[in-house]
Each structure stands twice: as structure tokens, then as C-alpha cells.
Copies of this chain bind each other. A is one copy, B any other.
Amino acid sequence: MPMKFLATKDNLLNGINIVQKAISNKNAIPILSGIYLKAIEGRLLFAATDLELGIECRVPVQIIEEGEVVLPAKYLSELVRRLPDTNLMFEYQPETVSVKITYGQAETNIMGWRGEEFPTIPDLKDDYSFNVNPLVFKTMIKQTSFCANSEDARPIFTGALLEINNNDLVVVATDSHRIAYKKGKINNLTNEDFKAVVPIKSLIEISRIIKDDHDDLLNIRCNKNQICFENSELRMISRLIDGTFPNYTQVIPNDCNLLVKCKKKPLQEAIERANLFITEKDGTSVIKFHINDSNINISSKSDYGQVDENVQVYMEGSQLDITFNAKYLIDALKNMDFEDLEITFGGSLSPVVFRPLNDDKFLYLLLPLRS
């Protein structure tokens, strides 16, 4: 007997929404525009993959007969969204390779593909493994991912470094102009250190689809080529990026000429206002800091107006004039979730480091521009 099960609209939508992120519209292989469904052991398994990223999840259904099929994601998703909140019967029709969905006095048929034609999403076993609190992990991705490029001719800059160092998890992202670094605790002890470069797209997707549930730890497993993220609800597999990640520790300066401490918000708002009146040069909005007398002066001028902002700060060291790409400053300040900022300068052409006050878990490094 072919596959047959009863499901609720909510459970189906939940499964579709989770795996849909792995479907690429650009894929030339038709079956990869589909969602694989397998009714087995009281649950419906959903799977989707673009061969670089694969996602699987399970939802409860009432199985009459076990089985599998692949249905086009677009039609399945649009149809289920429009179905009534009633018992939905799904029944595989082997002759036509379609699924008949019945509800009330109506029925729909969606054409599909045979389940056995769908590529298997591999499992990673006996590999490097650790657990992390999903909220900690999400914060780490949010505070670093904006520094990587989702598209870049240099593949290494389309990923972020995941590193285990003395039982700390470190995430680092860079596009060669700026670096974001965030450190967090893992929930188990490992003896071995470890490194992998994960596509930034995969990290953003996994941090979007996992729920904000402290108790449902995220297990991360890795081999040389792939990384797997798994919790009680879902599993995602992504390829890794080949190549050597830049040695970020070498770039972070140890000493400084000028230390500034200030509130983040007034500085961010002053920069955002000044950014309105900057004339772009070669696509770059250039913003100038004049730091002196416990004050950061930020000024800009264009044909439409001008801004002259003064932000009072605590400073130690000598005065400095320095120039930045305004976009890189605004990006970074937006993604910082703390109030008090410590900024260290090494000179007008040396890397500048932004840190939360008295906290070494986050760091943002930015190269100034030649003025």
C-alpha cells in the first residue's frame, strides 16, 4: 500500500518553513526544488537540500501507511497555507507519481517525484562534536556575520571561522577591511582544539531556524568537509569552505596611543546623522573623527547640508584625526548589544579596536582610510 497519513495544517507549515531555507531558486536539478517527505515511525520527515546546505526536521502525523515522496516546495507551501484548519489526508498515487490531498469535500493533486530519487542528506557520526546554548550561538552569529560577504571572489571571505580554543567557542568573520570576533562558552568539555570555516549563509540560516529555547542545546558536529547542527527538532548539514582563514590574532594590536571610553548610543546616532550629508567617493562614504579634549568631533558636508556633532568621551593619550568608511562603522555599532564602548587607536593609519567596556568576549577591528 502506498504512503498515507493524516496531518494538521500547523504541523505541516512548521516543517515546510524550516526546510524551505535550503531550497535554492537557482538550482538546475528539478527535484531539488522539491521537499522530500517520508512518513515513518509516527512522524513525517521533511528534507530539502541545494547540495551545499541540507535541512531535515520531523513533525508528528498519524500514519496509515509508511512511505516517501518529493513534492515541489512552491506548490506545497502555497497550498498548505491556503488549506482549512481541518484533518488533511495525504495519499501517494504511484501511477501518476502525485499526492492526493483530501479535506472536507475537496481534493487536490500535486505532481511530484519518487522519494528514492532524492539525494540523501548524510549524517556525521564519530566526528568532532560539542554542544552550545542556542541563544549564545545566535548572539555570536548576529554580532559577527555582518563582517563576511555572502558573495566574494575570495571564497574564504564568504565564511566565518568557528574555533574551539580551551573549551571556548570563538566565531570570527572578516572581509579583509574589518574583523568581528565573539567568544562564548560551550556546554561540554573537549580536550581537543578545532577549526572550521563555515559558509556565512549556513550560519545565518541555522541561527534563524533554531528556536530561542535554552534547554534544547544545539549539537555541532564536524568532519573535514562538512558541519552538522542538530537539536531535538531539526538537523542542518553544510559544506565547509576550503582554505586558510586569515590569522586574525596577528592583526589585533597589543598597545595603543589613544584610549577612548564612551556610551555607544550617542556615538552611533551622531555618526548616523553625519552620514546623511556625506558625498560618496568611489562608492565609499568617508567620515572623519577629530578626537581632542575629551571630545570626538564628527563633521560632514554635502550640497544638501552639513553636520557638526560633538560626543563627550573619556580619553587617555594624544589627540588624533582619523577617517573611516561610514558604512563599516554604522554596521558594527548597530550589531553591538552593549552600552559602554572602549575604543583603542594606534595612530591615523593603524587598525582601531572597538570592545565592550571591561569585557574581552567581543571585539571589532576596523582599518581606517587614508584621508
Distance in Å: Cβ of A225 to nearest Cβ of chain B: 35
The docked-state distance in angstroms from the alpha carbon of A337 to that of B75 is 28
CA–CA, A270 to B72, complex, Å? 20
Q: List residues 72-121 of chain A with CB under 8 A from any CB of chain B.
A: 72, 75, 78-79, 82-84, 98, 105-111
Complex formed: what's the CA distance from A230 to B343 in Å?
Answer: 53
CA distance A72 to B276 in the complex (A): 12
Contact partners of A106 in chain B: CB under 8 A: 270, 273, 307-310
Interface string of A302-336 (1 = CB under 8 A from B): 01111111111000000000000000000000000
Task: Say whether B78 contacts A303, CB under 8 Å.
Answer: no
Q: Which chain B residue lies CB-closest to A305?
A: B110
Q: Does A269 contact B (CB under 8 A)?
A: yes
Contact of A108 among B79, B303, B308 (CB under 8 A): B308
Q: How many angstroms from the CA of A312 to the CA of B98 in the assembled complex?
A: 27
A272 within 8 A of B: yes
- CB closest residue in chain B, given A307: B108
Chain B: which residue is nearest A312 at the CB level? B105
Please report the C-alpha to C-alpha distance between residue A110 and residue B276 in the assembled complex, in whole angstroms.
Answer: 10
Whether B273 pairs with A304 at a CB distance below 8 angstroms is no
Taking a contact as CB atoms closer than 8 A, the residue among B83, B276, B305 that contacts A82 in the complex is B276
Query: What 1/0 mask marks residues of chain A from 269 to 288 whose CB sits below 8 Å from any chain B CB?
Result: 11011001100000000000
Q: Are B272 and A82 in contact (CB under 8 A)?
A: yes
> Which residues of B have CB within 8 Å of A307?
106-109
Within 8 A of B (CB), among A251-291: 266, 269-270, 272-273, 276-277
**Are B111 and A79 interface neighbours, CB within 8 A?**
no
Question: Which residues of A from 117 to 134 have beta carbons under 8 Å from B?
Answer: none
Nearest chain B CB to A268's CB is how many angstroms away?
Answer: 10
Give Cα A110–Cα B307 distance, bound, in whole angstroms.
9
Residue of B nearest to A74 (CB): B304
Take A82-B276, A272-B82, A276-B79 as given contacts and tell me if A304 and B111 are in contact as well, using a CB distance cutoff of 8 Å. Answer: yes
Contacts A82-B269, A82-B273, A111-B303 aside, 5 further interface pairs with beta carbons under 8 A come to A75-B304, A83-B273, A106-B309, A110-B305, A111-B305
The 8 closest A-B pairs by CB, nearest first: A110-B305, A106-B309, A105-B310, A108-B307, A82-B273, A82-B272, A109-B306, A109-B305
Ordered by A's residue number, 21 sampled pairs between the chains whose C-beta atoms are within 8 Å are A72-B304, A75-B276, A75-B304, A75-B305, A78-B276, A79-B276, A82-B272, A82-B273, A84-B269, A105-B311, A105-B312, A106-B307, A106-B309, A106-B310, A107-B307, A107-B308, A108-B306, A109-B305, A109-B306, A109-B307, A111-B303
